[in-house]
Amino acid sequence: MNDMSTAPAFDHRVENNPDPVPGARRDEILADPGFGRYFTDHMLLGEWTPEEGWHDIRVVPYGPLSLDPATAVLHYAQEIFEGMKAYAHADGSVWTFRPDANAARFQRSAARLALPALPAEVFTASVDALIRTDIAWVPQGEEKSLYVRPFMFASEAFLGVRPSRHVTFSVIASPAGAYFPGGLRPVSIWLASEFSRAAAGGTGAAKCGGNYAASLLPQQQALEHGCDQVAFLDGTEHTWVEELGGMNLYFVHDDGTIVTPELSGSILEGITRSSFLTLAADRGHGVVERRVSVDEWRDGVASGRITEVFACGTAAVVTPVGALRWDGGEAVSGDGETGKVTASIREALVDIQYGRAEDRHHWMHRVSLR
């Protein structure tokens, strides 16, 4: 396991919030945080210019940013983000999960969006700095975590179309409760037939806000059809299953093999995705990354060849998929309960994240002893 002996790779100043949320109110929030509704007392900010590179990284009181109306991100969406969590273990120590993988993906996303690379050690040290400052906001308890959102955006006030010459990096954090407070519940999925999330050669493999903007209308249509989430097909042939708006998909076959759509260039490579593939292989499952057609999904759940379908990502960890619906039909997998394979790999992952199982792959990074 990595420990805190590696000192932060940069000097940052901390300006303490003179008016933090009172402890009693914070405890109330941590008892039932929901998701993305409350934010901690501080945020991290950093600046980049071509002349100075990354500089002025600082932890300051959480609060609104003041932006010129001509700020480039508001017009051309030159923006990327990450999503990760800090977990409190039973002994009070606080850990993140594979922050090096988030740092590397942040660099890949930056390259696609013509944003400057943030060195991995600065990324991790920044996330650690904010978590340590707001350590009291890391909730204790089953399935709770502090959701951490690093992001970077074009902050130059300029309407010309070119990569911004002023870029801002920020990290904010928000306590999160169990995604499914009533326990895991299979969701229903609407098949987007008219719209794609991403195109060949587009930004689908980058974690950028624009991909989410493109997913909102189809997601709204899913809700109108009584479904919880939308599944996207490839943008060229409209045949191959890609992913949900923010989660990767898996198909468990009747011989125990787990199939997930291969990275096509327009699928976002989830860190939960790769961790799940590793844990599935550890548990003796065959693991296959290949193209999956929507017909294979429909026919497979109808014939029983596909026994479980699930989606995964950092926010919800694992979401069992119950039904796939489209105009004029549906294909139901399972019996409305979470499948056995889905549940057991999920447990293996959260046991590592919460320190209840040995971290054989050295995925955990200790942020604080508390």
Ligand X SMILES: *Cc1c(COP(=O)(O)O)cnc(C)c1O
Which chain residues interact with ligand X by CB under 6 A?
83, 207, 211, 243, 246-248, 268, 270-273, 313-314
Q: Which of 370, 368, 360 is nearest to 1 (CA)?
A: 360
Work out how close the CB of 195 gets to ligand X at its nearest, in angstroms, rounded to a whole number. Answer: 14
Work out how close the CB of 253 gets to ligand X at its nearest, in angstroms, rounded to a whole number. Answer: 22
The 10 Å Cβ neighbour count of residue 50 is: 10
Please say which residue, 71 or 174, places its beta carbon nearer to ligand X: 174
Work out how close the CB of 176 gets to ligand X at its nearest, in angstroms, rounded to a whole number. Answer: 13
Please say which residue, 125 or 268, places its beta carbon nearer to ligand X: 268
Dihedral Cα 360, 365, 367, 370, nearest 10 deg: 0
CA angle at residue 148 from 145 to 152, to 5 degrees? 170
Residues pairing with 168 in the sheet: 47, 153
Work out how close the CB of 41 gets to ligand X at its nearest, in angstroms, rounded to a whole number. Answer: 25
Please say which residue, 207 or 325, places its beta carbon nearer to ligand X: 207
Please say which residue, 155 or 314, places its beta carbon nearer to ligand X: 314
Please say which residue, 247 or 301, places its beta carbon nearer to ligand X: 247
Longest C-alpha distance within the chain, in Å?
Answer: 62
E strand or H helix that includes residue 287: strand 287-290
d(CA 293, CA 246): 19
Please say which residue, 124 or 211, places its beta carbon nearer to ligand X: 211
Work out how close the CB of 245 gets to ligand X at its nearest, in angstroms, rounded to a whole number. Answer: 6
Residues pairing with 288 in the sheet: 259
CB 243 within 8 A of CB 269: no
Please say which residue, 44 or 214, places its beta carbon nearer to ligand X: 214
Work out how close the CB of 32 gets to ligand X at its nearest, in angstroms, rounded to a whole number. Answer: 23
Please classify residue 284 by burial: count the beta carbons closer than 10 Å to its beta carbon, then call 0-12 exposed, 13-18 middle and 19+ buried.
exposed
Work out how close the CB of 294 gets to ligand X at its nearest, in angstroms, rounded to a whole number. Answer: 18
Please report, as a single letter, which amino acid is at residue 258. I
- Cα 253 to chain centroid distance, Å, stands at 26
d(CA 211, CA 187): 22
User: What 8-state DSSP symbol labels residue 359?
Assistant: -
Work out how close the CB of 163 gets to ligand X at its nearest, in angstroms, rounded to a whole number. Answer: 22
Please say which residue, 144 or 207, places its beta carbon nearer to ligand X: 207
